[in-house]
Amino acid sequence: MFVDQVKIKVKSGKGGDGMVAFRREKYVPNGGPAGGDGGKGGSIIFKVDQGLRTLMDFRYHRIFKAKPGQNGMIKGMYGRGAQDTYIAVPEGTTVTDVNTGEVLGDLVEAGQELVVAKGGRGGRGNIHFASAKNPAPEIAENGEPGIERELKLELKVLADVGLVGFPSVGKSTLLSVVTSAKPKIAEYHFTTLVPNLGMVHLDDGRDYVMADLPGLIEGASQGVGLGIQFLRHVERTRVILHLIDMSGVEGRDPFEDYLKINAELKKYDPSLLLRPQIVVASKMDMPDSATNLAEFKEKLAKDDTLENQPEVMEISSLTHQGLDALTKHTADILDQTPKFEPIVAEDAAVVYKYEEEEEAPFTLTRDADATWVLSGAKLEKLLLMTNMEHDESVMRFARQLRGMGVDDALRAKGAKAGDIVRLGSFTFEFVE
């Protein structure tokens, strides 16, 4: 089964918790701090696997979770970091965040990797919090929580040349003759239900990938027929071979077919018509094909709406007429056409992005029961990384809240001593 669009959920591993521990050493208060740091959590990483052709593997496995880091230990021993979780994807996979719409990356090269959820860092042990005033601190951090994301994976077939045209114009037959691909061929419309790829090898040593792209009829860009689901695969192609049936056996006007398919390509993406396009007059072995081709060229020459007059080449896949000339000319055009640059998103966890309107560190509201409610990603992360089992850690958390301006914000809103403040599942009393 050909699957080219899926949605999955990923969650990176939480960092290990830091340790509160003391060594037993003479003349050192409480033996001195000796709590180790937690290990880092595992990241979720996509990696291109050349052996994959579809996203079928994600049809039944949609949730991926990396392992958490090991907690810190006594005697200053660090916890073991968790191994990263690698997920194999085919070439041509675009990764998008469902909630934000941001394109995280475009995986188009063999072995290419993309970190989609970075593992949480390990919490610091109490060995890091020793000072002259507090040589034996009972303070440690919990590990940083992992990142949870819903992602959309979209596969766009990687092919140098794309075959487009109405059903039954000879796309699959041409692909089967010039490559070793074995697409299904039959005398009815929509025989081809999935894109088929094949490699064209020329005598001069050049080669390129050709794809038969099914489902284009009038209204395809609005979902008619196989619709828009396969139009996306045209995006990657550098040269378009527009096949038109010149036999006239179905009673259609070849020139009208040409205009209709181009109109659908333009509606989907206007830049597609700026790419090199060769009009391939197929089925030239049929009796009326030569007459129909002459009429087609006449209409094409008179059409002043076309910015560039396309080149027309005649072929017959049955008799192999014109196939060598077509494949070699296509290779010549490919040599002059640059490859498309993949979309690469900056890793937000590594690269700092300046924003003019920086998001507020927290928000303060009040519930109907008069409880003050604090919220905000930064505050919630700080809470999760605070070890509430030790009083000194709780006092440090209170100082951090004060430093972020929480106390001043509560006073400005009219909070009084004894009022209850809630942050997530944690509640405390406001003290002046």
pLDDT at 134: 87
CA distance 192 to 212: 8
Per-residue pLDDT of the chain (432 residues; tens, 9 = 90+): 456 688 999 999 999 999 999 887 777 666 788 899 999 999 999 999 988 877 888 888 999 999 999 999 988 899 999 999 999 998 888 899 999 888 898 888 888 899 999 999 999 999 999 888 888 898 999 999 999 999 999 887 767 888 888 887 888 888 888 886 565 444 544 444 567 777 888 888 888 888 887 756 554 444 444 444 556 667 778 888 999 988 877 778 888 888 888 888 888 778 888 888 899 999 898 888 899 999 988 888 887 666 667 889 999 888 889 999 999 999 999 898 887 655 544 443 333 333 444 566 788 888 888 888 888 888 888 989 998 888 898 889 889 888 888 888 888 888 888 889 898 888 888 887
Mind listing the pLDDT tens digit for each residue in 5-46?
889 999 999 999 999 998 877 776 667 888 999 999 999 999
CA distance 167 to 260: 13
Global pTM exceeds 0.75: no
Torsion of CA 50, 54, 57, 59, to 10 degrees: 160
**CA distances from residue 409 to 11, 305, 317, 360 in whole angstroms, order as listed:** 34, 65, 77, 12
DSSP reduced 3-state for 278:
strand
DSSP for 232-269? GGGTT-SEEEEEEE-S-TT---HHHHHHHHHHHHHHH-
pLDDT at 150: 94
pLDDT at 324: 92
Q: Kindly report the number of other CB atoms within 10 A of residue 158's CB atom.
A: 18
Percent of the chain with pLDDT over 70: 84
Mind listing the pLDDT tens digit for each residue in 213-267?
775 655 444 444 444 455 666 777 888 899 998 887 777 888 888 888 888 888 8
pLDDT at 71: 95
- Tell me the Ramachandran region of residue 60: left when phi exceeds 0, alpha when psi lies from -120 to 50, beta otherwise: alpha
pLDDT at 182: 60
Q: Kindly report the number of other CB atoms within 10 A of residue 80's CB atom.
A: 15
Query: Across the chain, which distance is largest between two alpha carbons, in Å?
Result: 106
Q: Kindly report the number of other CB atoms within 10 A of residue 256's CB atom.
A: 11
Mind listing the pLDDT tens digit for each residue in 254-277?
888 888 888 888 887 788 888 888
CA distance 168 to 189: 6
CA distance 117 to 121: 12
